[in-house]
Chains A and B, each alone.
Chain A
Amino acid sequence: MIKIQAEPGLLGQTAREILETMFFMSPEDAAEPDPAPDDLLTAELKFEGALSGWFRIQLQESCARAIAGNFSGVMDPSELSAESVAGVLCELANMVCGATLSRLDPDAIFNLSSPQLGSQGCAGHGLTQWLSTDEGLIGLQLRWESQ
Chain B
Amino acid sequence: MAYRVLVVDDSSAMRAFIRRVFDLSGLDVEKLYEASDGQDALALLDMEWVDVILTDINMPGMNGEEFIRRLSESGRAETTPIIVVSTDATAARRESLLQLGARGYLSKPFAPETLQSEIERVLGKIQ
Chain A residues proximal to chain B, CB less than 8 Å:
17-18, 21-22, 68, 71-73, 84, 87-88, 90-91, 94-95, 97-99, 101-103, 105-114
Contacts and interface: CB of A to CB of B under 8 A. Distances in A.
Contact of B90 (A18, A72, A95, A102): A102
A110 B58 CA distance: 10
Contacts of A91: 11, 13-14, 17
Contacts of B110: 21-22
Nearest to B59: A114
A87 B90 contact: no
A22 B89 contact: no
A102 B58 contact: no
A87 B88 contact: no
Given A18-B109, A114-B10, A98 B86 contact: yes
B109 A22 contact: yes
B10 A95 contact: no
Nearest to A113: B58
A106 B91 contact: yes
B107 interface: yes
Contacts of A98: 58, 86-89, 108
Given A91-B11, A98-B86, A71 B17 contact: yes
B111 interface: yes
B12 interface: yes
Interface string B5-17: 0000011111011
Which 5 residue pairs are nearest across A and B when measured between Cβ atoms?
A98-B87, A102-B89, A21-B109, A87-B13, A18-B109
Given A72-B16, A99-B108, A112-B58, A90 B11 contact: yes
Given A18-B109, A105-B90, A109-B92, 6 more contacts: A88-B13, A91-B17, A95-B109, A99-B109, A102-B89, A108-B92
22 contacts: A17-B109, A21-B110, A22-B108, A22-B111, A71-B17, A72-B17, A87-B11, A87-B12, A95-B87, A98-B88, A98-B108, A99-B109, A102-B87, A106-B89, A106-B90, A107-B92, A109-B92, A109-B93, A110-B90, A111-B58, A113-B58, A114-B58
A72 B58 contact: no
Given A18-B108, A21-B111, A88-B13, A97 B87 contact: yes
